[in-house]
A = this chain, B = another copy of it.
Amino acid sequence: MEIKQQPKSAPYLYLQIAARIEKQIMSEVLKAGDKLPSVRMLCRELGHNMSTVTQAYYELESRSLIETRPRSGYYVSVPPKKRLAVPGTSNPSAEATLHNQDDLITRVHKDSENPNVTLLSLGVPDKSLLPIAKLNKGMLQAMRTLDGSGTAYDHVQGNDKLRREIAKWSLSWGGDLDDTDIITTSGCMNAVAYCLHALTKPGDTVAVESPAYFGILQLTQTMGLNVLELPTNATTGIELEALKKALTQNKIKVCLLISNFNNPCGASMPNEHKKEVVKLLEHFNVPLIEDDLYGDLYFGSNRPTTCKTYDESGMVLYCNSISKTLAPGYRVGWVAPGKFKDQVLRLKLSHSISSTTITSEVVADFLKNGRYENHLRKIRQILHNNSMKYSRAIANYFPESTCVSRPEGGYFLWVELDKDINTLDLYERAIKHNISIAPGRMFSLKQQFDNCLRLSFGLPWSDELEKKIKLLGILINKG
């Protein structure tokens, strides 16, 4: 293999190296299954250091162009046998009857507690993705630093240092929060719950994406809210025309969106859509609860913006947490409720007094010392890699008519099967083989998405996992 050093347009050396190898793969100079030179050998040949070449290989791996084989090295990937279509825009049933999916959701949660089950159903980061040793060091540090070692109540609004760090972090998505704008919560759902309580009373209507995250649907049901499920594109998120129509026709009290790499489709709203949604909602005086839980997990080169980025009137209540990136069990989340801050703060005080002191401090330090940023780089790389590998396996083993979303971040693939395949039946058959999936039915209050399923790619890729996806494919073909 010959890679000459010439000036290229790519901004970094590792991207230049990757581009050249990619060119050789595309022109079939390097063929599927060919072994690549070892990192060491390439370093010697090119006169680069190890980390540059390693990064180039990572880049190619994350794009599924090459793959590692344990104790053997890097090989040119065998491309998927077929390329699947992407699902289009949902067309939520207009039928009014509600079908509470509580029993199904409880069932899926219950089955997931069996340690033998391969968990493709839930968006929980695998232990291997989390910086546990570093967090434990942070815990020791927090015990030493905190007055009373974290036994005392925290301020109602939340740990001061954490709020400052979150404010600084908001620069990454084009925000300009300051610490007084932020209230800490017990995870992101807790933030969303306070926002909904602040803005609605039973009988009010909340507009959401469709399909929608089942946790949000459950929350609206426990609160006695009506839900308006709006057409949503599997790539670009909520349909603006549909939202506009709904705002004109309905009495929407509040809108709730997962703007980046959403759950379950993986869709991300383009910047123009975000701007437009904020403008629309402002015009109709409808607040937006924005759940940005997956925003830091982008596979591309830039952190996507948020709706909050374009919010000038304080109508956007921005919710986030570290549950998908750092430590779900820490229960550290936050909300920047814009002009609804007083109401949300009063709700937090009356519902739980304060957040857990020590885990807030650990997360604050993690952000402050740049460890969060380092960690995110790693977890993004792994999730990107996983997404490509899971997608390829689906392309190889699922029927050709399957559509699968192509998320540019986050945890989820949304899979649409033939209309005659029922994923509730598939769930029953898969769980017998200790595979747990999330049937489409979970993501609506109306009986729909019966031929769809959500797959999480949070589990590390392995031959074993590939076999599970292959088995799912066989079960689908048999159905």
- Chain A interfacial positions (CB closer than 8 Å to B): 102, 109, 113, 124, 127, 130, 132, 135-136, 139-140, 143, 147-156, 186-187, 189-190, 193, 197, 201-202, 215, 218-219, 221-222, 224, 323, 326-331, 346-347, 349-359
Contacts and interface: CB of A to CB of B under 8 A. Distances in A.
Contacts of A187: 352-353
A130 B153 contact: no
Given A224-B201, A329-B148, A352 B153 contact: no
Contacts of A353: 187, 189-190, 215, 323, 328
A124 B155 CA distance: 13
A40 to B, nearest CB: 34
Contacts of A140: 140
Given A127-B152, A155-B113, A218 B352 contact: no
Contacts of A109: 156
A330 B150 contact: yes
B351 A329 contact: no
Residue among A143, A347, A356 with most chain B CB within 10 A? A356
Contact of A352 (B135, B156, B186, B221): B186
A357 B135 CA distance: 14
Contact of A329 (B102, B153, B327): B153
Given A132-B149, A135-B149, A350 B215 contact: yes
| Interface residues of A, dominant DSSP | helix
A151 B328 contact: yes
A400 to B, nearest CB: 37
A186 B189 contact: no
Contacts of A139: 139, 143, 149, 358
A190 B351 contact: yes
Given A109-B156, A151-B130, A222 B347 contact: yes
Contacts of A130: 148, 151
A346 B224 CA distance: 13
Residue among A136, A151, A222, A354 with most chain B CB within 10 A? A151
Given A148-B127, A151-B130, A350-B218, A356 B331 contact: yes
Contacts of A357: 329-331
A326 B149 CA distance: 12
What 10 pairs between A and B have smallest CB-CB spacing? A329-B357, A151-B327, A219-B350, A218-B350, A190-B352, A193-B351, A356-B356, A153-B328, A331-B356, A127-B148
B127 A349 contact: no
A354 B330 contact: no
B124 A148 contact: no
Residue among A135, A149, A323 with most chain B CB within 10 A? A149
12 contacts: A140-B140, A153-B323, A153-B329, A189-B350, A193-B351, A215-B350, A215-B353, A218-B350, A219-B351, A221-B350, A323-B353, A328-B353
A224 B282 CA distance: 27
Contacts of A148: 127, 130, 132, 329
A329 B109 CA distance: 29
Nearest to A113: B155
A154 B346 contact: no
A346 to B, nearest CB: 6
B218 A349 contact: yes
A112 to B, nearest CB: 10
Given A329-B148, A329-B154, A352 B193 contact: yes
A218 B156 CA distance: 14
Residue among A201, A221, A355, A359 with most chain B CB within 10 A? A359
Contacts of A151: 127, 130, 132, 135, 326-330
